[in-house]
Structure 1
Amino acid sequence: MARTGRPRAFDKDQALERALLLFWSRGYGATSVQDLVDALALERGSLYGAFGDKRQFYLAAVQLYWDTYERRLLTALETGPVLPALREVLTHPARAHEYASDVGVPQGCMIGNTTAELVPEDDEAREVVARSHARFIEIVADALRRAQAGGEVTRAATPEAQAQLLLFTAQGYSLVARAGLDPTAALAAVDALIDALRA
Protein backbone atom coordinates (compact mmCIF):
# COMPACT_ATOMS: atom_id res chain seq x y z
CA MET A 1 0.00 0.00 0.00
CA ALA A 2 1.50 3.31 -1.09
CA ARG A 3 2.12 5.96 1.55
CA THR A 4 0.04 9.05 0.98
CA GLY A 5 2.09 11.20 3.28
CA ARG A 6 1.10 13.01 6.44
CA PRO A 7 -1.66 15.61 5.89
CA ARG A 8 -0.76 19.22 6.57
CA ALA A 9 -1.83 20.27 10.06
CA PHE A 10 -2.27 23.92 9.08
CA ASP A 11 -4.45 26.07 6.87
CA LYS A 12 -2.33 26.97 3.83
CA ASP A 13 -4.46 29.99 2.88
CA GLN A 14 -4.32 31.39 6.41
CA ALA A 15 -0.56 30.85 6.54
CA LEU A 16 -0.15 32.74 3.25
CA GLU A 17 -2.23 35.64 4.58
CA ARG A 18 -0.03 35.88 7.67
CA ALA A 19 3.11 35.66 5.55
CA LEU A 20 1.74 38.44 3.35
CA LEU A 21 1.46 40.76 6.36
CA LEU A 22 4.97 39.89 7.50
CA PHE A 23 6.54 40.42 4.07
CA TRP A 24 4.49 43.60 3.60
CA SER A 25 5.67 45.10 6.87
CA ARG A 26 9.36 44.12 6.59
CA GLY A 27 10.07 43.57 2.91
CA TYR A 28 11.56 40.55 1.20
CA GLY A 29 15.19 40.96 2.20
CA ALA A 30 14.56 41.76 5.86
CA THR A 31 12.24 38.79 6.37
CA SER A 32 14.17 35.63 7.14
CA VAL A 33 12.93 32.06 6.88
CA GLN A 34 13.17 31.91 10.68
CA ASP A 35 10.90 34.98 10.90
CA LEU A 36 8.35 33.10 8.80
CA VAL A 37 8.71 29.92 10.86
CA ASP A 38 8.16 31.91 14.07
CA ALA A 39 5.26 34.03 12.79
CA LEU A 40 3.43 31.09 11.23
CA ALA A 41 4.32 28.59 13.98
CA LEU A 42 5.43 26.09 11.32
CA GLU A 43 8.32 23.72 10.98
CA ARG A 44 10.73 24.60 8.18
CA GLY A 45 9.94 21.36 6.39
CA SER A 46 6.21 22.14 6.38
CA LEU A 47 6.88 25.63 5.09
CA TYR A 48 9.13 24.43 2.28
CA GLY A 49 6.78 21.59 1.42
CA ALA A 50 3.78 23.89 1.13
CA PHE A 51 5.31 26.98 -0.46
CA GLY A 52 8.78 26.19 -1.76
CA ASP A 53 11.67 28.50 -0.93
CA LYS A 54 11.38 32.00 0.54
CA ARG A 55 11.32 33.66 -2.87
CA GLN A 56 8.44 31.53 -4.13
CA PHE A 57 6.61 32.12 -0.85
CA TYR A 58 7.10 35.87 -1.27
CA LEU A 59 5.87 35.88 -4.87
CA ALA A 60 2.78 33.91 -3.80
CA ALA A 61 2.15 36.54 -1.12
CA VAL A 62 2.53 39.36 -3.66
CA GLN A 63 0.05 37.63 -5.95
CA LEU A 64 -2.40 37.30 -3.05
CA TYR A 65 -1.92 41.00 -2.29
CA TRP A 66 -2.71 41.93 -5.90
CA ASP A 67 -5.71 39.58 -6.15
CA THR A 68 -7.21 41.18 -3.04
CA TYR A 69 -6.40 44.70 -4.28
CA GLU A 70 -7.92 44.00 -7.70
CA ARG A 71 -11.19 42.81 -6.17
CA ARG A 72 -11.39 45.95 -4.04
CA LEU A 73 -10.53 48.14 -7.01
CA LEU A 74 -13.24 46.59 -9.18
CA THR A 75 -15.79 46.93 -6.38
CA ALA A 76 -14.85 50.57 -5.74
CA LEU A 77 -15.19 51.55 -9.40
CA GLU A 78 -18.23 49.57 -10.46
CA THR A 79 -20.90 51.82 -8.95
CA GLY A 80 -21.38 55.53 -8.37
CA PRO A 81 -19.17 58.43 -9.43
CA VAL A 82 -15.68 57.40 -10.50
CA LEU A 83 -13.62 60.35 -9.25
CA PRO A 84 -14.42 59.98 -5.52
CA ALA A 85 -13.62 56.27 -5.84
CA LEU A 86 -10.31 57.03 -7.55
CA ARG A 87 -9.46 59.53 -4.82
CA GLU A 88 -9.94 56.77 -2.26
CA VAL A 89 -7.76 54.41 -4.31
CA LEU A 90 -4.96 56.98 -4.51
CA THR A 91 -4.99 57.84 -0.81
CA HIS A 92 -5.13 54.21 0.34
CA PRO A 93 -1.42 54.06 1.38
CA ALA A 94 -2.05 56.85 3.91
CA ARG A 95 -4.40 54.47 5.74
CA ALA A 96 -1.91 51.64 6.19
CA HIS A 97 -2.42 51.75 9.97
CA GLU A 98 -5.86 50.19 9.41
CA TYR A 99 -4.07 46.95 8.49
CA ALA A 100 -2.07 46.73 11.71
CA SER A 101 -1.52 43.21 12.95
CA ASP A 102 0.56 41.39 15.50
CA VAL A 103 3.32 40.92 12.92
CA GLY A 104 3.73 44.58 12.06
CA VAL A 105 2.14 47.40 10.12
CA PRO A 106 2.19 47.11 6.33
CA GLN A 107 3.82 50.02 4.54
CA GLY A 108 2.76 51.39 1.17
CA CYS A 109 1.80 49.29 -1.84
CA MET A 110 3.32 45.81 -1.94
CA ILE A 111 3.55 45.94 -5.74
CA GLY A 112 5.56 49.16 -5.48
CA ASN A 113 7.69 47.70 -2.71
CA THR A 114 8.43 44.66 -4.87
CA THR A 115 9.39 46.91 -7.77
CA ALA A 116 11.82 48.82 -5.58
CA GLU A 117 13.37 45.74 -3.97
CA LEU A 118 13.41 42.98 -6.60
CA VAL A 119 12.86 44.47 -10.07
CA PRO A 120 14.56 44.37 -12.56
CA GLU A 121 16.92 41.60 -11.40
CA ASP A 122 14.15 39.07 -10.69
CA ASP A 123 12.31 38.08 -13.87
CA GLU A 124 9.35 36.49 -12.09
CA ALA A 125 8.89 39.48 -9.82
CA ARG A 126 9.03 41.76 -12.87
CA GLU A 127 6.30 39.70 -14.55
CA VAL A 128 4.05 39.88 -11.46
CA VAL A 129 4.53 43.64 -11.28
CA ALA A 130 3.96 44.13 -15.02
CA ARG A 131 0.74 42.07 -14.95
CA SER A 132 -0.50 44.04 -11.95
CA HIS A 133 0.23 47.38 -13.62
CA ALA A 134 -1.47 46.27 -16.83
CA ARG A 135 -4.59 45.18 -14.95
CA PHE A 136 -4.69 48.44 -12.99
CA ILE A 137 -4.59 50.43 -16.23
CA GLU A 138 -7.21 48.20 -17.85
CA ILE A 139 -9.63 48.41 -14.90
CA VAL A 140 -9.19 52.14 -14.33
CA ALA A 141 -9.33 52.98 -18.05
CA ASP A 142 -12.64 51.12 -18.33
CA ALA A 143 -14.04 53.14 -15.43
CA LEU A 144 -12.73 56.40 -16.89
CA ARG A 145 -14.23 55.55 -20.27
CA ARG A 146 -17.63 55.21 -18.62
CA ALA A 147 -17.05 58.42 -16.68
CA GLN A 148 -16.10 60.30 -19.86
CA ALA A 149 -19.25 59.05 -21.57
CA GLY A 150 -21.30 60.21 -18.58
CA GLY A 151 -19.74 63.67 -18.54
CA GLU A 152 -17.91 63.22 -15.21
CA VAL A 153 -14.36 63.12 -16.58
CA THR A 154 -12.65 65.32 -19.13
CA ARG A 155 -11.99 64.02 -22.64
CA ALA A 156 -8.77 66.04 -22.88
CA ALA A 157 -6.81 62.76 -22.80
CA THR A 158 -7.61 59.14 -23.56
CA PRO A 159 -8.82 56.95 -20.68
CA GLU A 160 -5.65 54.86 -21.08
CA ALA A 161 -3.39 57.89 -20.67
CA GLN A 162 -5.39 59.07 -17.67
CA ALA A 163 -5.17 55.60 -16.13
CA GLN A 164 -1.40 55.55 -16.68
CA LEU A 165 -1.10 58.90 -14.89
CA LEU A 166 -3.14 57.53 -12.00
CA LEU A 167 -0.88 54.47 -11.82
CA PHE A 168 2.21 56.69 -11.63
CA THR A 169 0.54 58.76 -8.92
CA ALA A 170 -0.58 55.74 -6.88
CA GLN A 171 2.88 54.15 -6.97
CA GLY A 172 4.68 57.40 -6.20
CA TYR A 173 2.27 58.23 -3.37
CA SER A 174 2.84 54.79 -1.89
CA LEU A 175 6.63 55.10 -1.89
CA VAL A 176 6.54 58.59 -0.40
CA ALA A 177 4.11 57.39 2.27
CA ARG A 178 6.70 54.83 3.41
CA ALA A 179 9.22 57.60 4.03
CA GLY A 180 6.74 59.65 6.01
CA LEU A 181 4.74 62.47 4.51
CA ASP A 182 2.51 65.35 5.50
CA PRO A 183 -1.00 63.91 5.06
CA THR A 184 -2.48 67.34 4.38
CA ALA A 185 -0.01 68.07 1.58
CA ALA A 186 -0.43 64.59 0.14
CA LEU A 187 -4.21 64.84 0.05
CA ALA A 188 -3.98 68.30 -1.52
CA ALA A 189 -1.82 66.86 -4.31
CA VAL A 190 -4.28 64.02 -4.93
CA ASP A 191 -7.19 66.47 -4.94
CA ALA A 192 -5.36 68.60 -7.51
CA LEU A 193 -5.06 65.57 -9.80
CA ILE A 194 -8.69 64.56 -9.31
CA ASP A 195 -9.80 68.13 -10.07
CA ALA A 196 -7.74 68.07 -13.25
CA LEU A 197 -9.69 65.03 -14.39
CA ARG A 198 -13.10 66.65 -13.95
CA ALA A 199 -15.09 67.50 -17.05
Structure 2
Amino acid sequence: MEIRRKASIGRPRGFDADQALERAMRVFWGQGYEGASLTDLTSAMGINRTSMYAAFGNKEELFRKALERYTEGPASYAASALREPTARQVAAAFLHGSVWATTRPGCPAGCLGVQGALAAGDPGRKARDTLAAWRNEFTSLLRDRLERAVEEGDLPPGTDPGVLARYLMTVSNGIAVQAAGGATDDDLRQVADMALRCWPPATDPNQPTG
Protein backbone atom coordinates (compact mmCIF):
# COMPACT_ATOMS: atom_id res chain seq x y z
CA MET A 1 0.00 0.00 0.00
CA GLU A 2 2.83 2.35 0.84
CA ILE A 3 4.44 1.84 -2.57
CA ARG A 4 1.17 2.32 -4.43
CA ARG A 5 0.44 5.53 -2.50
CA LYS A 6 3.81 7.04 -3.40
CA ALA A 7 3.32 6.13 -7.03
CA SER A 8 -0.05 7.87 -6.99
CA ILE A 9 1.45 11.04 -5.50
CA GLY A 10 4.09 11.18 -8.19
CA ARG A 11 1.64 10.61 -11.04
CA PRO A 12 1.59 13.48 -13.60
CA ARG A 13 -1.53 15.63 -13.70
CA GLY A 14 -2.41 14.60 -17.24
CA PHE A 15 -2.72 18.19 -18.53
CA ASP A 16 -0.40 21.07 -19.32
CA ALA A 17 -0.73 23.43 -16.33
CA ASP A 18 1.04 26.25 -18.15
CA GLN A 19 -1.32 26.04 -21.10
CA ALA A 20 -4.32 25.75 -18.80
CA LEU A 21 -3.29 28.92 -16.94
CA GLU A 22 -2.81 30.76 -20.24
CA ARG A 23 -6.36 29.85 -21.23
CA ALA A 24 -7.75 30.88 -17.85
CA MET A 25 -5.96 34.22 -18.15
CA ARG A 26 -7.66 34.85 -21.49
CA VAL A 27 -11.09 34.02 -20.05
CA PHE A 28 -10.59 36.46 -17.17
CA TRP A 29 -9.16 39.02 -19.61
CA GLY A 30 -12.17 38.83 -21.91
CA GLN A 31 -14.97 38.33 -19.37
CA GLY A 32 -13.71 39.85 -16.12
CA TYR A 33 -13.58 38.12 -12.75
CA GLU A 34 -17.31 37.89 -12.08
CA GLY A 35 -18.20 37.30 -15.72
CA ALA A 36 -15.95 34.24 -15.89
CA SER A 37 -17.88 31.30 -14.46
CA LEU A 38 -16.18 28.14 -13.25
CA THR A 39 -17.74 26.36 -16.21
CA ASP A 40 -16.24 28.93 -18.59
CA LEU A 41 -12.84 28.54 -16.96
CA THR A 42 -12.70 24.75 -16.76
CA SER A 43 -14.07 24.37 -20.29
CA ALA A 44 -11.39 26.69 -21.67
CA MET A 45 -8.69 25.01 -19.58
CA GLY A 46 -9.79 21.54 -20.69
CA ILE A 47 -10.01 20.19 -17.13
CA ASN A 48 -12.67 19.47 -14.52
CA ARG A 49 -13.22 21.44 -11.33
CA THR A 50 -11.43 18.90 -9.16
CA SER A 51 -8.29 19.22 -11.27
CA MET A 52 -8.56 23.01 -11.25
CA TYR A 53 -8.81 23.18 -7.47
CA ALA A 54 -5.93 20.72 -7.05
CA ALA A 55 -3.62 22.59 -9.43
CA PHE A 56 -4.58 26.24 -8.93
CA GLY A 57 -6.76 26.56 -5.82
CA ASN A 58 -10.13 28.30 -5.87
CA LYS A 59 -11.32 30.86 -8.39
CA GLU A 60 -9.76 33.77 -6.51
CA GLU A 61 -6.36 32.05 -6.36
CA LEU A 62 -6.62 31.13 -10.03
CA PHE A 63 -7.33 34.78 -10.81
CA ARG A 64 -4.22 35.91 -8.94
CA LYS A 65 -2.10 33.37 -10.82
CA ALA A 66 -3.64 34.52 -14.10
CA LEU A 67 -2.84 38.15 -13.23
CA GLU A 68 0.78 37.18 -12.53
CA ARG A 69 0.94 35.52 -15.93
CA TYR A 70 -0.59 38.59 -17.54
CA THR A 71 1.99 40.82 -15.83
CA GLU A 72 4.88 38.68 -17.05
CA GLY A 73 3.41 38.29 -20.54
CA PRO A 74 1.08 40.77 -22.29
CA ALA A 75 1.74 43.52 -19.71
CA SER A 76 5.52 43.03 -19.55
CA TYR A 77 5.93 46.19 -21.65
CA ALA A 78 5.33 48.18 -18.44
CA ALA A 79 8.40 46.88 -16.62
CA SER A 80 10.46 47.21 -19.81
CA ALA A 81 9.44 50.85 -20.15
CA LEU A 82 10.98 51.69 -16.79
CA ARG A 83 14.40 50.72 -18.15
CA GLU A 84 14.34 53.32 -20.93
CA PRO A 85 17.15 55.93 -20.61
CA THR A 86 15.01 59.09 -20.44
CA ALA A 87 11.71 59.94 -18.81
CA ARG A 88 10.13 60.76 -22.15
CA GLN A 89 11.22 57.42 -23.56
CA VAL A 90 9.76 55.73 -20.48
CA ALA A 91 6.45 57.49 -21.14
CA ALA A 92 6.50 56.68 -24.87
CA ALA A 93 7.30 53.01 -24.30
CA PHE A 94 4.62 52.75 -21.62
CA LEU A 95 1.83 54.40 -23.60
CA HIS A 96 2.65 52.74 -26.91
CA GLY A 97 2.96 49.44 -25.05
CA SER A 98 -0.50 50.02 -23.61
CA VAL A 99 -1.87 50.47 -27.12
CA TRP A 100 -0.14 47.33 -28.38
CA ALA A 101 -1.26 45.15 -25.46
CA THR A 102 -4.89 46.27 -25.53
CA THR A 103 -5.42 45.99 -29.29
CA ARG A 104 -3.18 43.06 -30.29
CA PRO A 105 -4.81 40.60 -32.73
CA GLY A 106 -5.86 37.27 -31.32
CA CYS A 107 -6.26 38.57 -27.76
CA PRO A 108 -9.19 40.10 -25.86
CA ALA A 109 -9.45 43.86 -26.26
CA GLY A 110 -8.59 46.05 -23.30
CA CYS A 111 -6.55 45.28 -20.19
CA LEU A 112 -7.10 42.55 -17.62
CA GLY A 113 -5.66 44.83 -14.94
CA VAL A 114 -8.15 47.61 -15.71
CA GLN A 115 -11.42 45.90 -16.63
CA GLY A 116 -11.00 42.66 -14.72
CA ALA A 117 -13.06 43.74 -11.72
CA LEU A 118 -13.91 47.44 -11.91
CA ALA A 119 -17.60 46.96 -11.16
CA ALA A 120 -17.36 43.83 -9.03
CA GLY A 121 -19.96 43.16 -6.34
CA ASP A 122 -19.28 41.45 -3.02
CA PRO A 123 -18.17 38.12 -4.58
CA GLY A 124 -15.54 39.96 -6.61
CA ARG A 125 -14.41 42.44 -3.97
CA LYS A 126 -11.08 40.71 -3.34
CA ALA A 127 -10.35 40.54 -7.06
CA ARG A 128 -11.17 44.25 -7.36
CA ASP A 129 -8.83 45.04 -4.48
CA THR A 130 -6.11 42.86 -6.04
CA LEU A 131 -6.32 44.81 -9.29
CA ALA A 132 -6.36 48.18 -7.51
CA ALA A 133 -3.17 47.17 -5.68
CA TRP A 134 -1.67 45.96 -8.98
CA ARG A 135 -2.30 49.33 -10.64
CA ASN A 136 -1.10 51.29 -7.60
CA GLU A 137 2.11 49.29 -7.43
CA PHE A 138 3.06 50.23 -10.96
CA THR A 139 2.09 53.86 -10.37
CA SER A 140 4.58 53.84 -7.48
CA LEU A 141 7.28 52.34 -9.70
CA LEU A 142 6.63 55.02 -12.31
CA ARG A 143 6.83 57.72 -9.65
CA ASP A 144 10.17 56.39 -8.41
CA ARG A 145 11.54 56.36 -11.96
CA LEU A 146 10.35 59.93 -12.57
CA GLU A 147 11.84 61.10 -9.26
CA ARG A 148 15.18 59.86 -10.54
CA ALA A 149 14.60 61.77 -13.77
CA VAL A 150 14.10 65.00 -11.81
CA GLU A 151 17.32 64.37 -9.86
CA GLU A 152 19.22 63.76 -13.11
CA GLY A 153 17.93 66.94 -14.78
CA ASP A 154 15.87 64.92 -17.23
CA LEU A 155 12.71 66.65 -15.96
CA PRO A 156 12.27 70.25 -14.72
CA PRO A 157 12.98 70.67 -10.97
CA GLY A 158 9.39 71.73 -10.23
CA THR A 159 7.93 68.54 -11.69
CA ASP A 160 5.75 66.49 -9.33
CA PRO A 161 6.70 62.86 -10.11
CA GLY A 162 3.61 61.52 -8.36
CA VAL A 163 1.20 63.60 -10.43
CA LEU A 164 3.08 62.80 -13.64
CA ALA A 165 3.01 59.08 -12.87
CA ARG A 166 -0.72 59.28 -12.19
CA TYR A 167 -1.18 61.16 -15.47
CA LEU A 168 0.52 58.36 -17.39
CA MET A 169 -1.57 55.72 -15.64
CA THR A 170 -4.76 57.65 -16.33
CA VAL A 171 -3.99 57.90 -20.04
CA SER A 172 -3.00 54.22 -20.13
CA ASN A 173 -6.18 53.15 -18.34
CA GLY A 174 -8.23 55.29 -20.72
CA ILE A 175 -6.53 53.62 -23.67
CA ALA A 176 -7.56 50.24 -22.25
CA VAL A 177 -11.19 51.29 -21.81
CA GLN A 178 -11.32 52.75 -25.33
CA ALA A 179 -9.75 49.59 -26.77
CA ALA A 180 -12.37 47.45 -25.03
CA GLY A 181 -15.00 49.69 -26.62
CA GLY A 182 -13.64 49.06 -30.12
CA ALA A 183 -11.09 51.84 -30.69
CA THR A 184 -8.40 50.81 -33.16
CA ASP A 185 -4.64 50.64 -32.80
CA ASP A 186 -4.26 53.70 -35.06
CA ASP A 187 -6.83 55.70 -33.08
CA LEU A 188 -5.11 55.00 -29.78
CA ARG A 189 -1.59 55.63 -31.05
CA GLN A 190 -2.73 59.13 -31.95
CA VAL A 191 -4.01 59.55 -28.38
CA ALA A 192 -0.67 58.36 -26.96
CA ASP A 193 1.25 60.71 -29.25
CA MET A 194 -0.93 63.66 -28.23
CA ALA A 195 -0.29 62.91 -24.55
CA LEU A 196 3.46 62.82 -25.23
CA ARG A 197 3.35 66.25 -26.88
CA CYS A 198 2.51 67.64 -23.42
CA TRP A 199 5.57 66.03 -21.85
CA PRO A 200 7.81 68.40 -19.81
CA PRO A 201 11.13 69.16 -21.55
CA ALA A 202 14.47 68.06 -20.14
CA THR A 203 16.39 70.81 -18.36
CA ASP A 204 19.84 69.27 -18.71
CA PRO A 205 21.19 70.04 -22.21
CA ASN A 206 23.26 66.84 -22.08
CA GLN A 207 20.16 64.70 -21.74
CA PRO A 208 18.87 63.12 -24.97
CA THR A 209 15.35 64.19 -25.84
CA GLY A 210 14.26 60.73 -27.06
Q: TM-score, normalised by structure 1?
A: 0.79
* Shift, 1:50, TM fit: 1.6
* Shift, 1:135, TM fit: 1.7
Structural mapping, 1:66-105, within 5 Å: 66-68=71-73, 71-95=76-100, 96-98=102-104, 100=106, 105=107
Unaligned runs of 5+ in 2: 202-210
Give percent identity, aligned residues only: 26
Q: 1:11 aligns with which of 6, 9, 16?
A: 16
What residue number does 1:52 align with? 57
What residue number does 1:114 align with? 116
* Shift, 1:166, TM fit: 1.2
Are residue 179 (structure 1) and residue 181 (structure 2) matched?
yes
* Bigger CA radius of gyration: 2
Q: Indicate the SS of the match to 1:27.
A: helix
Compare 108-117 and 47-56 and name the one that shifted more: 47-56
What residue number does 1:124 align with? 126
* Shift, 1:130, TM fit: 2.8
Compare 66-75 and 154-163 and name the one that shifted more: 66-75
Equivalents in 2 of 1:154, 1:193: separation in Å? 18
> Number of matched residues?
195
Q: What does the per-residue CA deviation read over 1:84-136, in whole Å, with 9 as the maximum and x for residues that have no partner?
A: 33223223343245362xxxx22211111124242776342233123212221
What residue number does 1:40 align with? 45
Are residue 62 (structure 1) and residue 88 (structure 2) matched?
no
Residue 37 of structure 2 aligns with an amino acid whose one-letter code is S
